[in-house]
Amino acid sequence: MCVGIHDLMVRARVLEERLITMYKQGEGYFWIGGPGEEAFNVPLGLLVDKGQGLDHDYLHLHYRSSGTLLAMGADPVDSIRQMKNLATDPYSRGRNFAGHFSVRAWNVVPVSSPIEVQFSIAIGTARAQRAGTGAKGITIVQGGDAGSAEGDFATALVWSSRKGHELPLLMLVTNNRFGISTPYAGQHGEAHISDRGKAFGMPTAVIDGNDPEASYAALKYAIDYVRTERKPYLLEAMVSRLRGHSSASGANVAKDEVDCLDRFEQTLEDRKLLTRTKMDALRERYAQELVEASRGVRTEPAPTPESAWDYVFADKNYVGGES
Amino acid sequence: MATMIQAIRMALHVGESRLGVTDIFGEDVGPPLGGVFTGTQGLETAWNTPLDERGIIGTAIGLALAGRKPVAEIQFCDYAFNTIDLLKLAGNTYWSSGGDWNVPMVMMTPVGAGIRGSIYHSHSFDATATRIPGWKIVMPSTPRDAYGLLLSAIADPNPVMFLMPKALLRMKSKPGEGIPGAPDDDKQLGHMIDAPLGDRTAWKPTWPALEELYIPIGKAHVAREGTRVTVLTYGRNVPMCLAAADELAADGIDTEIVDLRSLHPYDWDAITASVRKTNRVLCVNEDTEVTNFGEHLIRRIIEELFYELHAPPKLVAGAHLPGIGLADNLEMASVPSKDGIKAAIAELARHEP
């Protein structure tokens, strides 16, 4: 399993690096993504019950979730299509930023840029899956540490823990200790964000999200708890932010952060599960595949101007007045 | 005859018993109260939420994404302003996901002045609502329209905002405009579906054999035919404009009142037909006048129907004030009145190019 997780972590890292390069070469307007969250997000993608409808898990993710999507089986070329805002971008048809996934067939609810709104919306899918409904799936919602200052985070704590109305909701906080430029200490008085769950009587944990094995074990435990008990759980994972907030801050390498992939590769080498040569070759191969893929999509069309009017309404496409 | 709030309650009953509504919720919406205006008494799927409007709208979006059919209430639209980014999300999810996820939810909320509701129970929401693309927005002016528009809203695959004119919630249907299947006798209907005062834990409503009625979203209704001036209005101002028109008829001014019923999509065909007939147009609504929905209608009328006009179009709307004051004189000075509407119609009628 370690080798499989490593493979997906490499794929996710290489994808984000390709997207950053594309941004820097002028092949996209903006980059935001998840380098530094792979050790946590890849195990999440492997552990979810993937599918459509109430018997599978709903995912309300944030814009650093590429590792989760790739672990679920997403095609990295689709992220390249979104980066280039092509009409063939399956997540948003050229309408949204990189990392803003949407896959209805897998219950991946559209990622949106406003911070933490997913914590209010997740209550709805969790309610549809609450105890007594017979639904087998659970709802998983993820945000960062800075976003937990929004009222929506408190909303999720309050609504998921009402006595007799508990919701099968797994709340994940990936804590990278920053909100754009504002450090954790500048926004929070609480020692751990997950401590806030204790007041609501829900189990909580803080884990090293840079360790994929610890992440896998903690996520498995939390998911099993929520699935069985149909009650909320709050899990906080300490992660890194390896390329800053977004392209707006340069997307350059943050040298003082722990790199979960480097650290895991050292572990795999020490345990003689993989050799340095093999791992370097793997990274090189995936990187090359994506270079070719980004060339391959160059012939795919941009959205037409008139397509801006598509999908306003799910029935008739009213524009202004009704004629 | 049914009141508008009874009509809304009956539509919600039809919704949950026949149209797949799974959740009707909001602050004080479930038992024992059944809504601060009694709109959700006796409903099987009604439940109380925490006092958290963002949670209410977020939950509605999530339920809709999960294939449920939610009707969420914001107790007064004055308290919907902290949900606007979530309302924007409900409106843009189908579009931003390229048609991947639609959001079939209904949000209902009482709007407008008329009950001496002071600064935070008198807001209008139509100007704000019509600035949130991706929503359909309806506003009834009669109990029958409330019933038929709410059933259409429930059946719609998109987010639909059902704006309840709170000054009209106790208004009764006129003869011939009853709710299909509901008894016309007030006492009989009240006995069947109104919760008793005091302890109501053992009470259950007896629903009449209601028939479905769908008033199409996007279609206006000519509430009064006339030839001299067109009035484009909706909600609370419809009966006010009708009363003004009746009084002006004595002076020989024949006014046409178009009840838009739907603010988005709005019925441009009906507006065009009426303006071509009368060549004079007045827009009336309660929301503050700067960046007002009536301004949009006037802009489009000027652009597309300029040479049909025999007088500059007029708008009678709420004053652009920070609030509606409690005192009678303050409220009356802040929102359209019958006399103000009469004066505007008369001025248009007299104007010659």
Instruction: Give the domain ranges of chain B.
Output: 4-193, 221-350
Domain B4-193 has CATH 3.40.50.970: yes
pTM of the model as a whole: 0.97
Parent domain of A172: 2-255+275-299
Taking one residue from A and the other from B, the number of pairs with CB-CB distance under 8 angstroms is 163
Write out the catalytic residue numbers of B: 121
Interface of B with A in 332-351 (CB under 8 A): none
What pLDDT is attached to residue A320?
44
Residue A58 lies in a domain: yes
Is residue B128 over pLDDT 90? yes
Q: Are A140 and A48 in contact (CB under 8 A)?
A: yes
pLDDT digits (tens, 9 = 90+) for A215-262: 999 999 999 999 999 999 999 999 999 999 999 888 999 989 999 999
Whether residue A246 lies inside any domain: the answer is: yes
B237, B336 Cβ separation under 8 angstroms: yes
For residue A225, tell me if it sits in a domain: yes
Q: Nearest 5°: phi and psi at A297? A: -85, 0
Give a yes or no: residue A110 inside a domain: yes
Q: A90 to chain B: which residues are within 8 Å by CB? A: 98
Domains B4-193 and B221-350 share a fold: yes
- Residue B157 and residue B90 in contact, taking contact as beta carbons nearer than 8 Å: no
Disruptive mutation site among A91, A311, A319 for chain B (greatest number of B CBs within 10 Å)? A311
Structure ipTM: 0.96
Taking only the tens place, the pLDDT of each residue in B278-331 is: 999 999 999 999 999 999 999 999 999 999 999 999 999 999 999 999 999 999
CA distances from B348 to B148, B249, B279, B289, B311 (A): 33, 14, 10, 19, 6
Determine, yes or no, domain membership for A307: no
Report how many domains make up chain A: 1
Q: For A141, list phi and psi in degrees, rounded to 5.
A: -125, 140
Tens-place pLDDT, residues B17-62: 999 999 999 999 999 999 999 999 999 999 999 999 999 999 999 9
Q: Is-contact B261 B330, C-beta < 8 A?
A: no
Nearest CA in chain A to B156: A315
**B178/A contact by beta carbon, under 8 A:** no
The whole-number pLDDT of residue A318 equals 56
- The CATH code of the domain that includes A169 is 3.40.50.970
Q: pLDDT exceeding 90 applies to what percent of chain A?
A: 94
Instruction: Find the closest chain A residue to B96 by CA distance.
Output: A92
Q: Under the phi-then-psi rule, with left for phi > 0, alpha for psi from -120 to 50, and beta for the rest, what region is A36?
A: left
pLDDT at position A115 over 80: yes
User: CATH: 3.40.50.970, 3.30.230.70, 1.25.40.10, 3.40.50.920. Which one for B221-350?
Assistant: 3.40.50.920
Nearest CA in chain A to B105: A124
Domain for residue A320, yes or no? Answer: no
The reply to whether A220 falls in a domain is yes
Residues A322, B266: C-beta atoms closer than 8 Å? yes
- Please report which confidence band the pLDDT of residue B199 belongs to, taking 50, 70 and 90 as the band edges: confident
Encoded amino acid at A201, one letter: G
Residue B303 touches partner A, C-beta closer than 8 Å: no
Q: Using CA of residue A309, residue A310, residue A314, residue A318, what is the dihedral sign?
A: positive
B55, B66, B86: residue with CB nearest A125: B66
Q: Which residue of B has its CA nearest to A115?
A: B85
> Using a CB-CB distance cutoff of 8 angstroms, which residues of chain A are in contact with residue B23?
127
Neighboring chain A residues of B101 at a CB cutoff of 8 Å: 102, 104, 109-110
Q: Which of A71, A70, A64, A95 is nearest to A82 (CA)?
A: A95
Is A211 inside a domain boundary? yes
Which residues in chain B (266-295) have CB-CB distances under 8 A to chain A? 266-269, 271
Mean pLDDT of chain A: 95
